[in-house]
Amino acid sequence: MEASAPPEILPRTRRPLDRVGEKVFYGLTAFAALLTLAIIAAIIWKVIDGAWPAIHTFGISFVWNQTWNPVTEMFGARVFIIGTLVTSFGALLLATPISIAIGLFLSELAPSAIKGPIGALIQMLAAVPSVVIGLWGIFVLGPFMLQHVEPPLHDYLGWIPIFGGTPQQAGVLPAIAVLTIMIIPITSSICRELFTSVPRDVKEASIGLGATRWEMIRGVVFPYVKAGIVAAITLGLGRALGEAIAVTQVIGNSLRDFPVSLFGQGNTLASQLAGSYQSAPTNIELESLVYLGLILLVITFITNLTAQRIVHRFEKQHAGAR
* Distance of closest approach, residue 285 Cβ to another protein, in angstroms: 14
* Distance of closest approach, residue 98 Cβ to another protein, in angstroms: 5
Q: Is 160 in the site for another protein (CB under 8 A)?
A: no
SS3 226: helix
Whole-number Å distance between alpha carbons of 33 and 25: 13
* Distance of closest approach, residue 115 Cβ to another protein, in angstroms: 10
Q: Is 204 in the site for another protein (CB under 8 A)?
A: no
| Residues 119/105, Cβ–Cβ less than 8 Å | no
Choices 159-167, 200-208, 223-231, 301-309 (CB under 8 A): range interacting with another protein:
301-309
* Distance of closest approach, residue 187 Cβ to another protein, in angstroms: 11
Give the up-direction half-sphere exposure of residue 312: CA atoms within 13 A in the CB hemisphere.
Answer: 6
Whole-number Å distance between alpha carbons of 246 and 125: 14
* Distance of closest approach, residue 10 Cβ to another protein, in angstroms: 7
Write out the DSSP string of 101-148.
Answer: HHHHIIIIIS-HHHHHHHHHHHHHHHHS-HHHHHHHIIIIIHHHIIII
- What is the 8-class DSSP label of residue 59? G
Q: Is 197 in the site for another protein (CB under 8 A)?
A: no
| Residues 50/287, Cβ–Cβ less than 8 Å | yes
SS3 197: helix
3-state secondary structure 238-280: HHHHHCCHHHHHHCCCCCCCCCCCCCCCCCCHHHHHHHCCCCC
- Which residues from 11-70 bind another protein, rule CB under 8 A? 13-14, 18, 21-22, 24-26, 28-33, 35-37, 39-40, 42-43, 46-47, 49-50
- 59, 64, 69, 118: which one contacts another protein (CB under 8 A)? 118
Residue 243: left (phi > 0), alpha (psi -120 to 50), or beta? beta
Choose between 184 and 261: whose C-beta lies nearer to another protein.
184
Q: Is 94 in the site for another protein (CB under 8 A)?
A: no
Q: Is 293 in the site for another protein (CB under 8 A)?
A: yes
- 76, 134, 167, 252: which one contacts another protein (CB under 8 A)? 134
Q: Is 112 in the site for another protein (CB under 8 A)?
A: no
| Residues 183/91, Cβ–Cβ less than 8 Å | yes
- 205, 209, 214, 223: which one contacts another protein (CB under 8 A)? 214
- Comparing CA positions, the residue from 124, 88, 52 lying closest to residue 239 is 88
* Distance of closest approach, residue 217 Cβ to another protein, in angstroms: 7
* Distance of closest approach, residue 158 Cβ to another protein, in angstroms: 25
- 79, 86, 122, 145: which one contacts another protein (CB under 8 A)? 122
Choose between 44 and 74: whose C-beta lies nearer to another protein.
44
- 61, 166, 212, 317: which one contacts another protein (CB under 8 A)? 212
* Distance of closest approach, residue 260 Cβ to another protein, in angstroms: 26
- Which residues from 218-277 bind another protein, rule CB under 8 A? 235, 238, 241-245, 249, 270, 273-274, 277
Choose between 267 and 300: whose C-beta lies nearer to another protein.
300
CA 286 vs CA 14, 27, 127, 280: distances in Å: 59, 40, 32, 9
Choose between 21 and 152: whose C-beta lies nearer to another protein.
21
- 101, 157, 260, 321: which one contacts another protein (CB under 8 A)? 101
Q: Cβ contacts of residue 120 below 8 Å, gap of 6+? A: none
Q: Report residue 68: phi and psi, to 5°.
A: -135, 90
